[in-house]
Amino acid sequence: MRRGRTLILILLIIIIGLIVGFVALNQILNLTTQPPEETGPVYVDVYYAAQNIAQGAPITEDVLATLRVPQENLVAVMFTLDELPLLIGKVAKFPLDQGVVITESMVSDATSAVPVSGPEWASLIPPGMTAMSIPTDRLSVSGYAVNDGARVNVNACLLFVDVDPSYQTILPNLTAVLTGTGLGNISGGGVQGQEGAGFQVQGLPILSLGVAASGTAQGRLELDPSVQQPYYLIPSEAQRPRLVCQMLLQDVVVLKLGNFPLVPTVATPEQQQDPNAQPAAPVAPDIVTLVVTPQDSITLSYLVYSNAKLMLTLRNPSDDRRIETEASTLQFLLSQYNIPVPAKLPYAMQPALTTLISPVLPNDAPVAPEQ
């Protein structure tokens, strides 16, 4: 009897376990087969122009506002909230109207050129820079190796002379002899008793000077140590200017070598009809246009009108280093390169050498004399 009850209890437990397992299995199957519950769309904040932004104007937080768009409508070129540092500091490539969503194609770095209206080459000038032309020749542009788009350094050579601070004229001054100095009486409109010029004051004595101009260069008094006699030294020639050369600008972009075109070049009817017509020989450029800062443009203007000699040296476009240089003078050359000053010897070369003349070589092309 007791064994039958135990068997019945075991059967009940088994039946209950089967029921519980069946219910749990149905719930799991229902969860996997039921579609997920629908949720609302996800929105993302993007930046747009809160006001009109002028062409070339910098992008700041004051001119921006955010707009919520569905995530499925978000485009990779838009700027989201976490991309604000990438947008701040850029400039507008063209005028942006209020309400326009800003994309990557609408802005550029502040150091890059922004296309603007006007001549096509004006868009090649970065903001804050300016273009200026300076005179040049074949030697100044490294035999025309410097061309459009090149990066160069600018060297300048200047000549210095001593001048009189008051007259601002080159030294030495010219001397004149004063004669007939003294006091005279005014009579009428001149001075009586002395030859020269005086103040036109009626009834007063006046200092009158007579000047005899000699035009002799001003010298200096020296003492001859051998005979202990003074003598007066005057210059034997005009003052020799002192030369100095220095590199002024580095990593400057060449906008154009030569003139910009005034009008498009059109072939003449004769050239259009003759297929064998030879093109005109290119004209050697005599100016070069550089992209410099406004301050550097003022410096170049001063150098151009002070007759300084400017030379451009070509550099590698990938090299953006700045190198400190020393100005070259005669003293610098002698000390830096260990050049000795020749001693005064009791003998010399014949014929006398006063200038350096390049030798004439057999293969040199003959040069026709000027007519």
The pLDDT tens digits for 2-50 are 666 777 777 778 888 778 777 777 777 766 655 555 566 788 899 999 9
The predicted pLDDT at position 357 comes to 83
The predicted pLDDT at position 195 comes to 42
The predicted pLDDT at position 193 comes to 41
Half-sphere exposure in the Cβ direction for 293 (13 Å, CA): 8
Question: CB–CB of 217/86 below 8 Å?
Answer: no
The residues spanned by each domain of the chain are 1-34, 43-115, 130-160+241-261+283-336, 174-196+203-233
Question: CB–CB of 154/312 below 8 Å?
Answer: yes
The predicted pLDDT at position 166 comes to 96
Task: Report the alpha-carbon distance of residue 300 to residue 248 in Å, rounded.
Answer: 10
In the chain, what percentage of residues exceed pLDDT 70? 77
The predicted pLDDT at position 34 comes to 54
Q: Tens of pLDDT along 97-123?
A: 888 899 988 888 877 666 556 677 887
Distances from the Cα of 27 to the Cα of 16, 21, 176, 191, angstroms: 17, 10, 126, 136
**272-299 average pLDDT score:** 83
Helix and strand tally (H, E) in the chain?
Answer: 5, 14
Name the nearest CA neighbour of 325 among 244, 241, 254, 253: 244
The predicted pLDDT at position 290 comes to 97
Number of residues written out for the chain: 371
Please state which of the ranges 47-51, 122-126, 280-284, 367-371 shows the lowest mean pLDDT: 367-371
Please state which of the ranges 19-23, 132-136, 169-173 shows the lowest mean pLDDT: 19-23
**159-167 average pLDDT score:** 95
Whole-number mean pLDDT of the chain?
81
The predicted pLDDT at position 201 comes to 46
Q: Name all contacts of 14-21 with Cβ < 8 Å and 24+ positions apart.
A: none
Distances from the Cα of 51 to the Cα of 47, 71, 79, 98, 124, angstroms: 12, 25, 17, 4, 27
In the chain, what percentage of residues exceed pLDDT 90? 36
Please, what CATH class does the domain formed by 43-115 belong to?
alpha beta
Question: 250 by DSSP, 3-state: which?
Answer: strand
Question: CB–CB of 45/68 below 8 Å?
Answer: yes
Q: Which two tokens stand for residue 186?
A: 């005014």
Task: Report the alpha-carbon distance of residue 329 to residue 92 in Å, rounded.
Answer: 48
